[in-house]
């Protein structure tokens, strides 16, 4: 899979630069020298890594001006925009990969975003928190209140998450809309799991194409 050099790079990358399992997977999926658009790129940690280590043509969209400032200050080509609108101007199949990491549940029209991602990108990489994790199910069942867990820490009235999506929900939408799952990864913390992901994974990463 990965060369010794790659592994060494990745060892730094995961805990120090990114510290997120889904970023590690994205780093593995994205091929050297490819073009990547990161939606909701924050301060551009992933993009900076992809540019430096994967020689990628890296672009990003971010809605927070302070985060865009940080990203541009580190030399990245990031522009301030809403994801729901930020893709409209790009021609079809502009990027090799369009990445949406931990943001799908915050978009107003996730289905439109998904379709825009596979229009603008040859591949879409989507990482999202699994709202069907056992702790959320348990919490709802036992307390009768909107789940508030380690992975879903927000109060219902003060959450950025406007769409609650589980792993089977997402798979169903992809199937229904005629898209193809190229790869899928399921994470418990930063560890990959394969056993009963819809119950045990706290997040999922999908590689989707048209």
Partner 1 sequence: MIVERKSVDLGELQLDSGETIPSATIAYESYGELNEARSNAILIQHAFSGDAHAAGVSKKDGATGWWENMIGPGKAFDTDKYFVFCSNVLGGCSGTTGPGSTNPATGKPYGLGFPFVTVADMIRLQKGLVEHLGIEKLLSVSGGSMGGMQALQWAASYPEMCASVIPIASTHRHSAQQIAFNEVGRQAIMADPDFEDGNYYDGPGPGRGLSVARMIGHITYMSDDSMREKFGRRRRQMSDESSLFEVESYLRHRGGQFVGRFDANSYIAITKAMDTFDLSLGHASLGDVFEPFDGRFLVISFTSDWLYPSYQSQEIVRALRGRVKDVAYVELPSSYGHDAFLVEAGEQTEIVRGFLASTFKKLTPVGAAR
Q: Which residues of 108-130 are buried (b: 16+ CB within 10 A; e: fewer)?
A: eebeebbbbbbbbbbbbbbbbbb
Least distance CB 62 / partner 1 (angstroms): 9
Whichever of 78 and 201 has its CB closer to partner 1, that residue is: 78
Whichever of 57 and 151 has its CB closer to partner 1, that residue is: 57
Whichever of 91 and 178 has its CB closer to partner 1, that residue is: 91
Least distance CB 103 / partner 1 (angstroms): 19
Decide: 95 and 35 in contact? Cβ < 8 Å.
yes
3-state secondary structure of 61: strand
- Residues lying near partner 1 in the complex (CB under 8 A) are found at 59, 65, 68-69, 72-81, 89-91, 94
Determine the Cα–Cα distance for residues 193 and 74; give it in Å rounded to an integer. 34
Least distance CB 40 / partner 1 (angstroms): 15
Whichever of 55 and 143 has its CB closer to partner 1, that residue is: 55
Classify residue 8 by burial, with Cβ atoms within 10 Å: 0-12, 13-18, 19+: exposed
Least distance CB 115 / partner 1 (angstroms): 18
* Closest-CA residue to 132 (of 168, 87, 177): 168
The two structure tokens encoding residue 133: 């994790």
Whichever of 87 and 118 has its CB closer to partner 1, that residue is: 87
Least distance CB 5 / partner 1 (angstroms): 19
Q: Which residues of 161-190 are buried (b: 16+ CB within 10 A; e: fewer)?
A: beeebbbebbeeebeeeebeeeebbbbbeb
């Amino acid at each position: 899979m990965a060369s010794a050099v790659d592994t060494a790079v990745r060892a730094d990358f995961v805990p120090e630069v990114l510290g997120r399992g889904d970023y590690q997977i994205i780093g593995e999926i994205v091929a050297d020298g490819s073009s990547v658009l990161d939606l909701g790129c924050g301060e551009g940690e992933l993009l900076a890594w992809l540019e430096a280590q994967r020689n990628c043509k890296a672009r990003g969209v971010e809605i927070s001006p302070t985060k865009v400032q940080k990203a541009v200050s580190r030399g990245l080509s990031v522009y301030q925009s809403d994801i729901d609108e930020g893709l409209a101007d790009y021609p079809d199949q502009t990027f090799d990969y369009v990445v949406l990491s931990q943001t799908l549940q915050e978009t107003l029209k996730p289905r439109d975003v998904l379709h825009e991602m596979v229009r603008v990108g040859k591949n879409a990489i989507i990482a999202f928190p699994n709202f069907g994790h056992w702790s959320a199910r348990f919490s709802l069942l036992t307390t009768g209140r909107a789940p508030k867990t380690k992975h879903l820490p927000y109060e219902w009235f003060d959450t950025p998450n406007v769409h609650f999506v589980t792993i089977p929900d997402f798979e169903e939408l992809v199937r229904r809309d005629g898209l193809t799952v190229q790869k899928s990864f399921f994470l418990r913390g930063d560890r990959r799991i394969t056993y009963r992901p819809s119950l045990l994974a706290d997040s999922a990463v999908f590689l989707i194409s048209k």
